[in-house]
Structure 1
Amino acid sequence: MISVVIPAFNEEKRIERSLIALSNQTVPRDQYELIVVDGGSHDKTCQIAQDYADLVFVQESERVAGARNDGFLRSRHGLVATTDADSIVAPNWIEQAIDSFSDPDVVLSFGPVTPIERNDVNRRYSLLFNGLIKFGAHSRLYYYTLGCNTAFRKDALLKAGMYRIMDAGDDLEIAVRMRKMGKVQFAPEMKVGFDFRRYHEFGFWNTIYEWYYIVLQGGISDKYSYTRREYQDDEEHAQV
């Protein structure tokens, strides 16, 4: 049994495709719960989510890390996972997430990303992301545990203090503490379709620069707004 937490903010054009994928898994629907944590959306995100999720509520903590934490605290199961409202998980994602904890010493598992829009630019982006993910996993120098594709053993996550409230880097920082609690496992078949709209709209290298700038500032910055950003109404990026 596993709980999946999906933070969302103004995602009416994308959250339904995400929740449809999460609702049609190789694991029976009564074997997992879907929790949508809304960041104060002013569109139809919550209304759409209520048609699919077991629980929908407005976050009380700050930032996307706080939304994930709020969801974890209200989850019912011993395993918890997190993905994004604009991502599309593979049909066997939940099955693979559960299987990744077959070793009782594993406290965190994570997987690779694939591009939702399969064009040459997005393929190059995913190659870069997956290269970083796999290099870190095999070298054990770091763990590139993206928030769109990470699962935890809940008791270990709570003991570690859950996500640190940051503007950027929270999904990597959590692995630093979790690896002290037990094994961190890379699950190559635990795949998630990633939406690269941020990199298209705001520029790849500019986005990377902003992310590193915020991380080097300790994870909090008044200069850049990396999360809860308003995107243009671009139907091309909303297509699967």
Structure 2
Amino acid sequence: MISVVVPSFNEEAGIEAFLKSLCDQTLPRDQYEIIVVDGNSKDKTREIAEKYADKVFIQTSKKVGGARNDGVLASKYDLIVTTDADCFLPRPWLETIVKDFEKYPDASIIYGPIYPLEPGFKHKFEVFLYNIVVRIGGRTGIFYATLGANTAFRKNLFIEAGMYKVCDAGDDWELPKRMKNYGRVVLDMKMIIGFSMRRYINFGLFRSAFQWFYVVAKGGFSDKHQYMGKEYTKK
């Protein structure tokens, strides 16, 4: 029914807890597959993942967008969802996604918000503001704040649209700009997951966001980009 694609790299410390939450969904386990695409980790990430996932292999394409593309191409189901190995997935998560696609048969991509896994008011406040941005973008359609950690799409439309771009940043936000040409882009605020703030603890969410926008502005959203090592022009 649905394939879950998970890029990973040196996630030994947290990937087991993540995979346990993914295996403990309200959707029956035989109705979804777990695919872990590893960036050649130097720790026990793959060894741990093999205890829970249906497929575990080393990525052949560059960067996280390429890893997700590799996972999609190795999947067997028509519905795909991408997430990250340091997240926590509430039990109804996958069932919510399946019901959303049933509710919106014209949808090409569906995405949701996040909540912080780490304690503290600062993280809660930052994510609160971020989720406001997510809601504004989803309601206006001016932009779509999709995260690779919490995005689902129809496999055939994803491939037809050109898949994730291979770049330093912005591949997850850029994808719905093309996917909306193939179907409706849907935001479901109930499709929420726990998100690790570890990448932002040292620098802060807003400083990290500024650096992200800087990388994107330098060329992340140019008309030509790399996909599976080959240059192509956006549709």
Q: What TM-score do you get using the length of structure 2 for normalisation?
A: 0.91
Distance (Å, rounded) in 2 between the aligned partners of 1:80 and 1:116? 24
- 2:191 counterpart of 1:190: yes
Distance (Å, rounded) in 2 between the aligned partners of 1:41 and 1:128? 33
2:15 maps to: 15
2:90 maps to: 90
Contact preservation (8 Å) 1:90, 1:190: no
Quote the offset at 1:121 in angstroms. 1.1
1:156 maps to: 157
Q: Give the direction of change, closer, same or farther, for the CA distance of 1:144–1:205 in structure 2 (3 Å limit).
A: closer
1:210 maps to: 211
1:41 maps to: 41
For residue 44 of structure 1, what is the amino acid of its counterpart? Answer: K
SS at match of 1:217: helix
2:105 maps to: 104
Distance (Å, rounded) in 1 between the aligned partners of 2:91 and 2:117? 14
For residue 15 of structure 1, what is the amino acid of its counterpart? Answer: I
> Identical aligned pairs, as a percentage?
47
Aligned-residue RMSD, C-alpha:
1.1
Distance (Å, rounded) in 1 between the aligned partners of 2:203 and 2:45? 23
Q: What TM-score do you get using the length of structure 1 for normalisation?
A: 0.89
2:171 maps to: 170
1:142 maps to: 143
For residue 79 of structure 1, what is the amino acid of its counterpart? Answer: L
Quote the offset at 1:205 in angstroms. 3.5
Q: Which runs of 5+ in 2 are unaligned?
A: 222-235
Quote the offset at 1:203 in angstroms. 3.2
Distance (Å, rounded) in 2 between the aligned partners of 1:21 and 1:207? 27
For residue 30 of structure 2, what is the amino acid of its counterpart? Answer: D
* Greater Cα offset, 98-107 or 2-11: 98-107
1:72 maps to: 72
Distance (Å, rounded) in 2 between the aligned partners of 1:205 and 1:110? 22
Contact preservation (8 Å) 1:14, 1:85: yes
